Amino acid sequence: MNKIVIEFPVKGEWITPNSPRNRVPSHGTEMFGETYAIDFVMIKDEKRKAYNKSLLKYLLSGIELKDFYGWGQNVYSPVNGVVIATKDKMPERNKVHLYDDYSHMKRVTKDFMKGKGTIESVAGNYVLIKCSDEVYVLLAHLKNTTVCVNVGQTVTVNQVIGKLGHSGNSMMPHLHMQLMNDRDYRKAKGIEFVFREYEVKWRNGWEIVRNSIPGSTEIIRNK
């Protein structure tokens, strides 16, 4: 199958710390349709910081969700399709703290691998979109109570489907997105994709990139 061309699911400036451009599988496993998954973290400057507090505060006492640049940003459908599953109203952990969130991640991952967890325990609040019988798009870790589409609803490219959050198996507010060939994550295989267009920041300015996928060292933008 050729790589599927999709639109960007976020707007503004971002980094993609886990990207299939750098390694496959991008999240360390080919299970659950995650082979080519990508994560988006919003930043504000070239230091690639995701929050407006000090690193020391993040490490010692934690940072409020509201202090992360990406938290509450709109998430857009990258495809045309039909919503076939959603989860909303799942609480987020506040404050965001490296040790606490890492401990939570290890516990949830362990349970999930043993078959004890649910998709919600990992994906948090999410939207699952069916593009065809062979292509499904999952957008995960959405903000509590912000999912604004319903099962059975047709969505179009660039339509808002919710807001970026910190629900589920999340180390900090970010968007997790993956394409897979089945709605059942327990047997789904990941699908390769590229973005139709976005910009990459270089020393002399921004450069438009087409039909590609960002790497983990790049600062990227979508207007």
Work out whether the CA dihedral 13, 4, 29, 178 comes out positive or negative: positive
Cα 77 to Cα 166: distance, rounded to the nearest angstrom: 19
What are the tens digits of pLDDT across the range 73-99?
999 999 999 999 999 999 999 999 988
Cα 52 to Cα 12: distance, rounded to the nearest angstrom: 16
Q: What is the pLDDT of residue 102?
A: 86
What are the tens digits of pLDDT across the range 126-171?
999 999 999 999 999 999 999 999 999 999 999 999 999 999 999 9
Query: What is the mean pLDDT of the segment spanning 5-25?
Result: 97
Domain 4-222, CATH: 2.70.70.10
Instruction: Write the CA distances from 205 to 2, 41, 110, 202, 220, integer angstroms.
Output: 31, 21, 43, 5, 11
